[in-house]
Structure 1
Amino acid sequence: MIEALAMAAAVAATPPRIVIASDSTAANYEPASYPQMGWGMVLKCSLTPDVQVVNLARGGRSTKTFIEEGLWNQLLAQLQPGDTVLIQFGHNDADTKKIVRFTDPNGAYEVNLRRFVADVRAAKATPVLVTPIARWLWEDGQLKDAHAAYAATIHRVATDLKVPLVDLDGDMMKAMQARGPLASRGFYLLYAPYDGVARFPDGITDDTHVNERGARLGAALVATSLAKLKLPISRHVRPAPLDNQPKLGGPSCP
């Protein structure tokens, strides 16, 4: 009993931390990569100043390669009791071209998610499952769901294990549907040669990765859900507006 009280006091005295385990859609980028940004870069803009964001997202990783490359063990080694761990994978798990990344949504993907949850809980931290951010895929005026099977598995694991869930995929799709194809295009790396984007003088068609405005919207959506989950971290969340995302040329906060 005394031990448990001492641990609770130690956790309460530690500044709150959010740790992100994910892929390129949440990762940090150097200024030279602008306008590409990950939502993890600007999540801080929806948090009180005392919260530390430890962004361990890495581009090109699936649940499988995140484990195989030792990135998951590296995360566990620095995890602290009381941390909140946001776990978002799916884009690369669905990659059948680079087969080393691929996981079956009803097989290894589910097994890996369950392992992540168990490991985080064993470290006395709080896991939060996050569905992968939606892609900009429109057909005949309708937005297509690119992550249905993987999102369904995340929902199932969250329900089975009673894990808090952030449905970023569903929330981003709703945000895009409300804006329509043309306006929502402005959240992704979709530029024509004449758009004047220095990094992409010949233009780019990337319907997966978000730009600054897309990253800010994604982070605001994540924060909005976190605020509603009634977790210890929730009282430190002040969601940024979901409309009129600023364009500041980097990850600074308004």
Structure 2
Amino acid sequence: MRIARKIAAMAAALFAVTSAHATRPGDTILIASDSTAASYAPDRYPQTGWGQMLACGLQPDVRVINHAMGGRSTRSFLAEGRWDRLLADLMPGDTVLIQFGHNDQARGKPERWAPAQTDYRNNLMRFIWDVRTAGGIPVLVTPVARRNFGPDGKAIADYPAWSGVMRDLATTLHVPLIDLEARSRVWLDRAGPEASKALYLHYRAQDEIAAFPKGIEDNTHFSELGARQVANLVAEGLRALDLPVSRKILAERPDLTRATPLGSTRCR
């Protein structure tokens, strides 16, 4: 009787796991990236990553698992075991957004440095292979633009070699691509050099921002408003792809198209 009860309990547990997994394929997005996409604790507000806001543009049954972490490149993401932890969360049918480049170009930091045409390319190929082997769908995302304008007033591409490798792999390996670099440069051009400060971390000491009491001028990391709008660019990119998750992107995304900050990172 005791053995029978144990077998019944094991069967019930297996059924529960199987049933839970049965609802998972296609309803989860995982993110492998750096500080531009990372999620931040409330005490870091208004600093916000686009991956932190992406769920606001998705149907409620879609889950976002954000593995993005500040300061990481393809090299360090692998070396620290973060990629392995992402793979442990990955199930068949899930979508994996892969955005690196900001830290891969840090030649002076060997733990991050991944030359575009060699290590970076090889690391991305491994990511693609691993995701496909696990039954997932890799999506390459070119590195989002920094707030960097040229003499002509147009946003500059700071990572052209790394973005170029992504575009090449997307073509040669038939990997879905969101050209976030191109999309975000258009976004910056539309805002212009002055108004775009509100999209990044530009605050004065007199603004009395608890996270930045001395003020900050950061042209890489986003404010709440900037992160919402970049998440909208990613959502637009996903919606344009012919993927199962594309049908899960909301047609109207008021939480991501706001012109003023909400004062928090929640979805309304």
TM (norm. structure 1) is 0.92
Q: Quick one: which of 233, 243, 260 aligns to 1:231?
A: 243
Deviation at 1:238, TM superposition (A): 1.0
Deviation of 1:243 (Å): 4.4
Partner SS for 1:49: coil
**2:186 aligned residue:** 174
Q: Which residue of 2 aligns with 1:14?
A: 24
| In structure 2, distance between residues paired with 1:50 and 1:99 | 41
The SS at the match of 1:86 is strand
User: Which residue of the partner structure matches residue 15 of structure 2?
Assistant: none
Q: Match of 2:209, as an amino acid?
A: V
CA contact (8 A) 1:11 1:81 kept: no
Equivalent residue number for residue 204 of structure 1: 216
Give the share of equivalent positions with the same residue, in percent: 48
What's 2:266 paired with? 252
- Aligned-CA RMSD value: 1.7
Deviation (angstroms), 1:197: 2.2
CA distance 1:74–1:243, change in 2 (3 Å): closer
Is contact 2:143–2:163 with CA below 8 Å preserved after alignment? yes
1:75 maps to 86
The answer on whether the counterparts of 1:129 and 1:158 sit within 8 Å (CA) in structure 2 is yes
How many residue pairs get matched? 246
Q: Could you list the runs of 5+ residues in structure 2 that have no partner in the other structure?
A: 1-18
Say if 2:157 is the partner of 1:145: yes
- Aligned pairs (5 A) from 1:54-73: 54-73=65-84
**Residue by residue, what CA displacement relative to the aligned partner does 1:187-238 show, whole Å, maximum 9, x if unpaired?**
1112233333232222112111111011001100000010110100011101
Q: TM-score, normalised by structure 2?
A: 0.87
Contact 1:11 1:82 in 2 (8 A): no
Tell me by how many angstroms 1:11 deviates: 7.2
Asked if the contact 1:216–1:245 (Cα under 8 Å) also holds between the matched residues in 2, the reply is no
Q: Displaced runs of 4+ in structure 1, greater than 4 A?
A: 9-12
Instruction: Tell me the amino acid that sits aligned with residue 249 of structure 1.
Output: G
Q: 2:105 maps to which residue?
A: 94
Cα distance in structure 2, aligned partners of 1:104 and 1:14 = 36
Alignment of 1:117 onto 2:131: no
Whether the 8 Å CA contact 2:199–2:226 is kept in 1: the answer is yes
